[in-house]
Amino acid sequence: MENLIIESTTYTPNINFDAVHGELSIKGKSYPENTFEFYKPVNEWIIEYFESTPNKNINIQLDLEYLNSSSLKAYFDMFDCFEEAQNLGKVIEVKWLYDSEDDITEETGEDFIEDFQGLNIKLVVK
Amino acid sequence: MKMSKLRTLIHEEGIIFSFSGLISQSLTTFIIKAVQEQLEELIKDSSIQKAIFLIITEQLQNIMSYSSNKHVAVGQVNVSPGSLLLAFDKEKAKYYITSSNEIREEDKEKISQRIDFINSMKKSELRKFSREQLRTAENKHDKGAGVGFVEMAKRSSEVLTYNFEKIDGKSYFHILTYI
């Protein structure tokens, strides 16, 4: 499967999904107007990847400093995909990066931990 | 208008940024950047800065999603007329963001019910409610997730204040959020 690479813009993050090594990284700001359109191919790639990859271990790194409410919704949908893949036998580790002074991003990470208790989510100070 | 008069007014009212006109995604990005530059000097607490940016984004995107008067401008860009103000309330010693846009008369009740319900919750309940909303498809529409008001309330130090006003037969929605 091809890697998925999307360059960042002022209001969308950089997406760098390495299919061979199972390293999925998203970094930047996310507040597009049409959030659903932006994340549709991202979520489709993730679903197809989980179904086809022989890799068992998948590492996900999320470094999102700025999320509007519709982007938050997109990430809840993405975490649903992670959880589903894990239930089907993948070993998924999610690193949620935040700046030590950024309470809001830390809180968002805590919300994901609270809501996806079956997933291995680590809060990591940058 | 004399610039000295405008400058005095802006200073007296504690206005940091104001805009009234056509709102779009590119303008949202521009406003966030401009406000960021202004606030870097004024506010050292990065959480307050971030709360301000998030609330501005939600209010502008609400205008873009819900305005009854949106249309497509040159270059297929969605634009909606609206107004936004970021200012410092000297008496309360708090920043506030307020915005206004035209809405459909029939949406008034839906908006009031939603905000009244959000205002009835404590911060801890809001956080839980927000997660529930984000995990369900309820209140989902083509653009946002319908959770903009919840996110504003989470980042605000007071309840969301709102009202409706009828001007020349058109209905307007105003919202005020204190950080």
Radius of gyration of chain B (CA): 17
Q: Which residues of A touch B155 (CB under 8 A)?
A: 104
DSSP-derived letter for residue A57 is: E
Q: What's residue A80's pLDDT?
A: 92
A119: pLDDT strictly greater than 80: yes
From B142's Cα to the closest Cα of chain A, the distance in A is 8
Burial of B3 from C-beta contacts in 10 A (0-12 / 13-18 / 19+): exposed
Q: What is the mean pLDDT of chain A?
A: 93
How far apart, in whole angstroms, are the C-alpha atoms of residue B117 and residue B135?
A: 19
pLDDT class for B95, splitting at 50, 70, 90? very high
Q: What's residue B145's pLDDT?
A: 45
CA torsion through residues A38, A40, A43, A46, sign: negative
Q: Which residues of A touch B73 (CB under 8 A)?
A: none
pLDDT class for B76, splitting at 50, 70, 90? low
Q: What's residue B146's pLDDT?
A: 63
- CB contact (8 A) between residue B33 and residue A70: no
**Dihedral pair phi/psi, residue A22, rounded to 5°:** 70, 35
Best of A10, A30, A33 to disrupt the B interface (most B CBs within 10 Å) is A33
From A1's Cα to the closest Cα of chain B, the distance in A is 29
Q: Which residues of A touch B140 (CB under 8 A)?
A: 73
Q: Which residues of B touch A76 (CB under 8 A)?
A: 131, 134-135
| Cβ neighbours of residue B134 closer than 8 Å, sequence gap 6 or more | A72, A73, A76, B145, B147
pLDDT class for B37, splitting at 50, 70, 90? confident
Question: Average pLDDT in the B76-91 region?
Answer: 88
pLDDT class for A13, splitting at 50, 70, 90? very high
Q: What's residue A1's pLDDT?
A: 85
Give the whole-number percent of chain A exceeding pLDDT 70: 100
Burial of A38 from C-beta contacts in 10 A (0-12 / 13-18 / 19+): buried
| Contact present, A112 and A121 (Cβ < 8 Å) | yes
Note the pTM of the prediction, 2 decimals: 0.89
pLDDT class for B142, splitting at 50, 70, 90? very low
DSSP-derived letter for residue B158 is: S
Place of tokens 């470094």: A63
| Contact present, A46 and A78 (Cβ < 8 Å) | yes
**Strand B161-167 to strand B94-103: parallel, antiparallel, or no bridges (unpaired)?**
unpaired
Q: What's residue A48's pLDDT?
A: 94
B139: pLDDT strictly greater than 90: no
ipTM value: 0.87
Q: Which residues of A touch B64 (CB under 8 A)?
A: 33
- CB contact (8 A) between residue A34 and residue B135: no
Residue A66 contacts B, CB cutoff 8 Å: yes
Condensed to tens digits (0 to 9), the pLDDT of residues A28-61 reads 999 998 888 899 999 999 999 999 988 889 999 9
Residue A37 contacts B, CB cutoff 8 Å: no
How far apart, in whole angstroms, are the C-alpha atoms of residue B105 and residue B120?
A: 24
The residue type at B28: T
Q: DSSP assignment of B100-117, as one string?
A: EEEE-GGGHHHHHHHHHH
